[in-house]
Amino acid sequence: MIQHLPLGSQGLVTSRLGLGCMGMSEFYGQTDDGESLRVLDRAVELGVHFWDTADMYGPYTNEVLVGKALRKHRQAITLATKFGIVRQPGAPQSRGVNGRPEYVRESCEGSLQRLGIDVIDLYYVHRRDRNVPVAETIGAMADLVKEGKIRAIGLSEVSVETLREAHKVHPVTAVQSEYSLWSREPEDGMLQACKELGVAFVAYSPLGRGFLTGQIKTPEDLAADDYRRHSPRFQGDNFYRNLELVRAVEEIALAKATTTARVALAWVLAQGEHVFPIPGTKKMKYLEDNAAAVKLELTPEELDKLSEIFRNGATGTRYPESSMGSLNG
């Protein structure tokens, strides 16, 4: 069984390894709700009890899907969802950000209904609304805590300054940002600030959106409708430069008779007990492979070697330039 540890300092305890559910509904090619529900059932058996979704995934459909699984497993699961990125059904490319207090409440009520639950364990601001004072957004979330609609407050893709400002209004339980061998930005202060404040750091895309598994060898391995085809790290020369980096992970995996994905996840897990990676998958074999990473121990020399090889991260930005402005809010 996967180790369970305190998630932040406000009473939540959950599995050290979580599950990102986004790809079960869109972005990464064809989806299959039946298979996804079987994956969620298997996650419970494996002890992967920290599930992550958001209202913008679908939009809305991922929460509905996760809600179906929660009917059987609610007591076992620490459920995280998010609000703040606004998408309209029928216009999937449209994006907005809304952190107004009235929208906080409206979004929470919608998520509770779609998920079919009475309380959300961890509720994130998906992106900071730069037009709304942080104190107003967090104040509205604090009201939801008092009313018993959410148990804890989280922030996604924010700056250290925003974390500290929010934490003064109400204790923050978790900060979520992309973190992996090829996305090292959280090391520039955020990991340290979280540890200082007693805040969990939740690492999404800890496998570099699948690239660090070694399973993607050419851009043609991605489905035609796969979001990653539009990601700078998966395009042109960037793709092949990043592929060179992955070979170092593959070498360690070969020497240890394990998989590349497990090595990449074990590196993230080794960055501190306050770090909770949430690799996403919609496939049973990848779920089981990821879960086995908690048993893999890398030596100090192996950890240092990987850190050094990837010290500059991946070639290419994490998102297209049009989306980069919403990060580090």
* Token pair listed for 34: 């039946």
Distance CA 141, CA 173 (A): 12
| Active-site residue (options: 28, 57, 103, 204) | 57
Q: Is 57 among the residues known to form the active site?
A: yes
* Token pair listed for 179: 């973190």
Distance CA 125, CA 81 (A): 9
Q: Is 151 left (phi over 0), alpha (psi -120 to 50) or beta?
A: alpha
* Token pair listed for 316: 């290419």
* Token pair listed for 264: 């990449």
Distance CA 109, CA 100 (A): 15
Distances (CA, A) of 27 to 55, 157, 193, 224, 298: 14, 19, 31, 11, 32
Asked if residues 151 and 117 have their Cβ atoms less than 8 Å apart, the reply is no
Task: Using alpha carbons only, give the angle 112, 113, 115 rounded to the nearest 5 degrees.
Answer: 65
Give the active site residues.
Answer: 57
